[in-house]
């Protein structure tokens, strides 16, 4: 199913389509604040795309402020003003 969610023929870049799906997951609360989103490897498998494309999607989410990445650990859902999150904790995620 997941792979079918991507339309390679669409004028919308694949990485944006993936980003949109992840944003939907976040807005829906499927992906919660300070919780990890799927790894690049997961996205590659789930959407059948190249890692480059998966990384582009995550980069896009980061630029939009939806997530933040901790090197060698993963990418986490950020506290968004619209979603109403607490102040950042020094302890960090997990």
Q: Which stretch binds DNA (CB under 7 A): 23-31, 68-76, 78-86?
A: 68-76
CB of 1 to DNA, least distance (A): 17
- State the DSSP code for 75: E
| Coil, strand or helix at 55 | helix
Residue 41 engages DNA in binding (rule: CB under 7 A): yes
Residue 74 engages DNA in binding (rule: CB under 7 A): yes
Q: How far apart are CA 90 and CA 93, in angstroms?
A: 9
- Looking at the Cβ atoms of 8 and 28, the one nearer to DNA is 8
Q: How far apart are CA 91 and CA 94, in angstroms?
A: 8
Sole binder of DNA in the list 31, 49, 61, 77 (CB under 7 A): 49
Binding to DNA by CB under 7 A, coded x per residue (else -) over 8-37, reads x----xxxx---------------------
Angle at 28 between CA 58 and CA 71, to 5 degrees: 25
């Amino acid at each position: 199913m997941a792979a079918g969610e991507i339309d390679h023929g669409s004028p919308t870049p694949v990485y944006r389509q993936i980003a949109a799906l992840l944003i939907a997951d976040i807005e829906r609360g499927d992906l919660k604040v300070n919780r990890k989103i799927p790894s690049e490897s997961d996205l590659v498998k789930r959407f059948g795309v190249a890692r480059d494309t998966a990384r582009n999607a995550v980069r896009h989410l980061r630029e939009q402020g939806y997530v933040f990445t901790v090197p060698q650990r993963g990418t986490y859902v950020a506290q968004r003003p619209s979603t109403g999150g607490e102040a950042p904790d020094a302890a960090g995620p997990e």
